[in-house]
Amino acid sequence: MCEYLCATKKRVIALKVLKFKLFITIFLLSVFSVPAVSIAEEHNSDNQTENSVPHEPKEEDGKFNAKKVILEHISDSHEWHFFSYPSDGGYKDVALPLPCILYNDVNGFSFFLFNKLHHGSIDGYSLNAEHHIGRSDGEGFYDLSITKNVTAMLISSILLIWLFRTAAKGYTARPNQAPTGIQNLMEVLVSFVRDEAAKPFLGNKTDKYLPYLLTVFFFIWINNMLGLLPGGANVTGNIAVTTTLALFTFILILTGSRKHYWMHILNPPGIPIGVKLILVPVEILGIITKPFALLIRLFANMTAGHLIVLSFLSMIFIFGQMSPIAGGGISIFSVAFSTFIYLLEMLVCALQAYIFTMLSSVFISEAIAGSHDHDEHATKDSH
């Protein structure tokens, strides 16, 4: 009984440490995954409009612009658009303006809500014909704004911290009882990631990298699921976010790598010198392609799902402009296919989070495993 209580106490302490590591990792992911940080290009004054009209899903020549609607949905923006409704022969948006944080050498920092630019220029900033922020003097500037994707990541990070804190408190409050509710759900998911995506590859190094792998899994999965909600942000469909996640894995590969790993890359044993001249550059290129494969896989799969669903739904409006009968007929097939793809995307959301986590674990294990460690892992797995 005493041994059981000691094991339970150690388990609670381990969960508290894991919770702290997850909090730090989530914070870093949220800060460094900011897709809005950019250097704006110079804009010519003829492309600027000092008093730009509010953002509206306009139709070109009275026709539905599917391309504009789809691209606006999957791209980042300085306001969170929810829906539009007909008004005075056009459309009006229901959107939440987000804070703009801009910097240039002339004005320094400028802070204002995005909707203020609808009424005119602020500190030399205005909206151009494409509804992007620019400067009338053509000077470049830094855009550090809290955009839609940044807001969505902060929301998902808060949700993640709440989930893990709730689960950890459950173990503290009921150390000798079976888990219930969120605690039970989180235990199943954490055990799955540990046993299926981490331990088979990392072996006795699992506990060291598990906080990062868990954070990546839940961060990607929750953002994927939130992106499926109507009006949700396509966070993982932003290549800046997937690039940042892949860079974190790449950093862990480099910092955890051992001499054995680099010797096999820079000086493969038992290989003729002539072959090494070809093999070594290929191996070095392979190091770079690993994070590239991670970021492209996640970005392409999540973007493709949104594009397919929106394309099917857009067919209703395209055919409806040709004929109300055609629009009504195609709507049956469009809604059916969109529903099927949408349900499939719910599976893809979890699958892509698992694949990213598992591949990260595989790439890290290749770097940290020395020749003796690799043999030990193989022996333990066989037993």
Domain final residue pick, 127, 146, 165: 146
C-beta separation of 58 from 91 below 8 A: yes
C-beta separation of 276 from 268 below 8 A: yes
Rounded CA-CA distance 244/233 in Å is: 17
Name the DSSP class of 195. Answer: I
Q: Domain span at residue 190?
A: 2-30+150-382
Q: What is the pLDDT of residue 47?
A: 39
Sign of the alpha-carbon torsion through 211, 286, 356, 354:
negative
Domain final residue pick, 146, 174, 195: 146
Question: Does residue 195 share a domain with residue 91?
Answer: no
**pLDDT by 10-residue block (mean), the chain, 383 residues:** 41 51 55 44 38 41 70 83 70 82 87 86 82 80 90 92 87 79 87 93 91 94 90 88 93 86 79 80 86 92 88 84 81 88 92 95 85 44 45
Question: Does residue 225 share a domain with residue 136?
Answer: no
3-state percent helix, strand, coil for the chain, nearest multiple of 5:
65, 10, 20
Q: What is the pLDDT of residue 370?
A: 57
Domain final residue pick, 146, 164, 193: 146
Question: Does residue 365 share a domain with residue 303?
Answer: yes
Question: Does residue 72 share a domain with residue 159?
Answer: no
142 beta partners = 39, 103
Question: Does residue 209 share a domain with residue 87?
Answer: no
Question: Does residue 172 share a domain with residue 241?
Answer: yes
Question: Does residue 77 share a domain with residue 93?
Answer: yes
Question: Does residue 327 share a domain with residue 280?
Answer: yes
Question: Does residue 337 share a domain with residue 206?
Answer: yes
Question: Does residue 93 share a domain with residue 43?
Answer: yes
- Sheet with strand 141-143: strands edge to edge: 38-40, 141-143, 99-104, 108-113
Rounded CA-CA distance 170/15 in Å is: 11
101 beta partners = 111
Question: Does residue 154 share a domain with residue 120?
Answer: no
Question: Does residue 106 share a domain with residue 50?
Answer: yes
Residues 6 or more apart whose CB falls under 8 angstroms from that of 234 comprise 73, 74, 75, 149, 227, 302, 303, 306
Burial class (CB in 10 A: 0-12, 13-18, 19+), 81: middle
Total tally of structural domains belonging to the chain: 2
Q: Which two tokens stand for residue 307?
A: 């594009």
Q: What is the pLDDT of residue 49?
A: 36
